[in-house]
A and B are shown apart, each in its own frame.
Chain A
Amino acid sequence: MEKVFIDGLSFAAPLFIMAMGGIYSEKSGVTNLAVEGFQGFGAFIGALTAVLLMPSMGDGSQAVIYIAMLAACVGGGVYACIHGLLCVKFRANQVISGVVVNILAVALTTFLTSAINKVLMGGSQSSNKFILGVSDRFTVPGLSRIPVVGALFRDMYPFEIVILAIAVIAWYLMYKTRFGMRLRACGENPQAVDAAGGNVARTRFIAVMISGALSGIGGICYAYSISANFSPNIYMGYGYLAIAAMIFGNWNIPSTAAVCLFFGLAKSGGYQLCLSMGLSSNYSDLFMMLPYILTLLLLTFFSKKNHPPKAAGEAYDAGKR
């Protein structure tokens, strides 16, 4: 039972930060289906940095993880510029741009991983994985002794704390600062921002970059917890799960956090159920489907009532009146 909480939280946290990335982008008016690609590319850069640093810093070093997270953040942000350029400057269809970015991310990272591995390992053998190892866990003293809920504070990955901190900062930025106020206005009525002297294009572009940076962190966290490596398997569709979470959460940070937690608990709950029933490992595949089925089910109940930001999905045309 404890395991359900622990695993659920460690799945929910990276999902949540990716969903927040989606929120930033969409609230500024840019439909963002590219989270999957952003997290993959961010994870790639993070993993690459880790692999380059591990020989000098030691294989088990935890500091490498933090540096990798930073690299993933930057990598995701830089890669997101493609989506930003396509949507804001080139006025491409934002859904297509998202799908394009995702496809390109898979192709680019797979190719580069193989090519770089060739260089690193020398010779004709090449693998499409960067081996990373798993992040250490730690337990919060005191809080973890509370019955039932204390499980949430046990065996945590440090990145969960990092993500929590970033979430608070991101919330503050969005709702309390000048930048955030203008960003949200860009998603509702960009004409108003333009008339008030704000730069809609630049705000949206920055929002997309933030979205990429946040997603990149999510990706590298998954690489360090679920897969213990970077490979084409990083593209598990969790980026899309994050988008679905954002839709249920009605583009609202606290609600989205709750939805992500729910997803996480459902996934880990399903897996524990499978284990406890003593089914063969093949059956675990069935339980892997759980998050996706759950998404579809919840979407049927919630899609009708939800209100995306009014101006999302349309390129801003200054000439329209």
Chain B
Amino acid sequence: MRKTQENHRFAALLDSEKWSGISIPILSLVLSLITASVMLLILGKNPLTAFLSFLQGSGFVPKASYGGGAGMLTDFFTFLNVLAPMMLASLGFIVAFRAGLFNIGISGQMMASGFLATAIIGYSGMNAWAAKPLVILVGLVAGGLLGAFVGFLKYRFNIHEVVSTIMLNYIISYLTGFFINARFADPLTRSMKICSNEARLTWTNVQIAGMKCSVPLGILLAAAAVVVVKFIFDKTVFGFELRAVGRNPLCAKYTGIKVGRRIVVALMLSGMLAGLAGVTYYCGYYNTIVPKALSSMGYDAIAVALLGNSTPIGCIFASVLITIFQNGSNYMSSTLGVAKEIASLITGILLLFSSCGGYFRYLAHRKLEAARDAADAAAKAEPQREPAVPASGMKEDK
């Protein structure tokens, strides 16, 4: 009897309006970690050591030893450097997703804006006060235009944005690859020449507490973006209309909302955030573009968004988590000898469980209903008791 009560409390946690936003992602996370642990055990490695080394690689837990001039803070700031574009990218996906759209083209939008910013500003020799804001501006404009283009294709020609964004990803990849190889390549590295320090969005070689760190400007942008996005969706008329379009475009039209225009704007916003992610990534810590190599961050951002339940706050926690995996994978791979691709694998599994989130909730809901009905039946079995009229939660029946 007690076991069933505990089961019901668990189910209630999963189904409740208030807690499901947190409980379901945590459930997905736990299931993924268990799966990952099983895989590690099969490979003959200790999962706990693996998870610890992820944390060490990201600067949350100190390592055994550090190289010259580096320390735990160095790793932590490196972590922040990867976190910033990840957060921005996943915010980009979330904005489109809440409006019912799938922006799978974040990787391409990132590369396009990174390339344009580097080519236009990065080699121009402007001073830092002018260069850095301009880089951000180029990122916003490039990403925004691409997003708006995708939105226009959907609005005017009914082209599904998944197909168009993916086509654009490949087009951008080849186009930028061509231009880099033609004009901008560094003969040694074969990738794009690095942009000037003035234009770079990360300050390198900053001394903090005696350790060499790279401080990303992007993390401030990401934090600001979270606040702005959350405000837009929760408090503004515009955000209300975007959510309406995402939930039910037909009813949104009936309400008088201009659905087509909102779609274009939503994708434009999404593209702008992707553009910010792009300049933070390519003109920041990494500071170079390898031709035709789209960053996987655009796709991992989808995992982050889904894990974070598609909300800005959830996105913060989810991106921290996934960046720990991504960033710590090199260190984990070198200490444990497991292929570093396991980080992407864990991300993939996380994505898998997150997309089942709806199903977990549905199962919990069913369980609670069954329990409620069993309780009703038991109450009815008691003699001479007038059963209560069923609650107002009635399904429309014939």
Contacts and interface: CB of A to CB of B under 8 A. Distances in A.
B344 A110 contact: yes
B159 A106 contact: no
B102 A99 contact: yes
B159 A296 contact: yes
Contacts of B153: 296, 299-300
A128 B182 CA distance: 28
Contact of B178 (A98, A108, A118, A285): A285
B352 A95 contact: no
Given A90-B359, A285-B181, A111 B299 contact: no
Contacts of A110: 341, 344
A247 B159 CA distance: 10
Contacts, number: 130
B182 A282 contact: yes
A86 B157 contact: no
A183 to B, nearest CB: 23
A97 interface: yes
A288 B174 contact: yes
A107 B158 contact: no
Contacts of A234: none
B63 interface: no
A118 B351 CA distance: 27
A189 interface: no
A115 B341 CA distance: 9
B295 interface: no
Q: Which of B153, B300, B344 has the most A CB atoms < 10 Å from its CB?
A: B344
Given A107-B341, A107-B345, A115-B339, A285 B174 contact: yes
Interface string B325-354: 000000000000001011011011101100
A289 interface: yes
A100 interface: yes
A240 interface: yes
A86 B356 contact: yes
Contacts of B23: none
B320 interface: no
A96 B306 contact: yes
Contacts of B398: 321
Contact of B167 (A100, A126, A236, A240): A240
A104 B168 CA distance: 21
B352 A100 contact: yes
Interface residues of A, number: 48
B18 to A, nearest CB: 23
B292 interface: yes
Contact of A114 (B168, B177, B341): B341
Interface string B225-259: 00000000000000000000000000000000000
A289 B352 contact: no
A301 B153 CA distance: 11
A91 interface: yes
Interface string A105-142: 01110110011001000000010100000000000000
Contacts of A97: 355
Q: For the complex, would chain B's binding face be called helix, strand, loop or mixed by DSSP majority?
A: helix
A146 B177 CA distance: 41
B355 A96 contact: yes
Interface residues on B, range: 35 or more
B162 A33 contact: yes
A132 B339 CA distance: 22
B362 interface: yes
B356 A295 contact: no
A240 B345 contact: no
Given A243-B163, A304-B157, A286 B178 contact: yes
A178 B331 CA distance: 56
B339 A111 contact: yes
Interface in B167-186: 167-171, 174-175, 177-178, 181-182
Contacts of B355: 86, 92-93, 96-97, 100
B164 interface: yes
A247 B160 CA distance: 10
Q: Which of B175, B302, B355 has the most A CB atoms < 10 Å from its CB?
A: B355
Interface string B274-303: 000000000000000000100010011011
B104 interface: yes
A293 B171 contact: yes
Contacts of A66: none
A254 interface: no
A296 B102 CA distance: 17
Nearest to A33: B162
B157 A108 contact: no
B157 A299 contact: yes
A244 interface: yes
Nearest to A321: B398
Given A285-B174, A286-B178, A292-B167, 8 more contacts: A91-B359, A99-B102, A99-B162, A104-B351, A108-B348, A114-B339, A299-B157, A303-B159
17 contacts: A82-B352, A96-B102, A100-B348, A103-B299, A106-B348, A110-B341, A110-B344, A111-B345, A244-B163, A244-B167, A286-B175, A288-B174, A299-B159, A300-B153, A303-B157, A303-B160, A304-B158
Interface of A: 33, 82, 86, 89-93, 95-100, 103-104, 106-108, 110-111, 114-115, 118, 126, 128, 236-237, 240, 243-244, 247, 282-283, 285-286, 288-289, 292-293, 295-296, 299-301, 303-304, 321
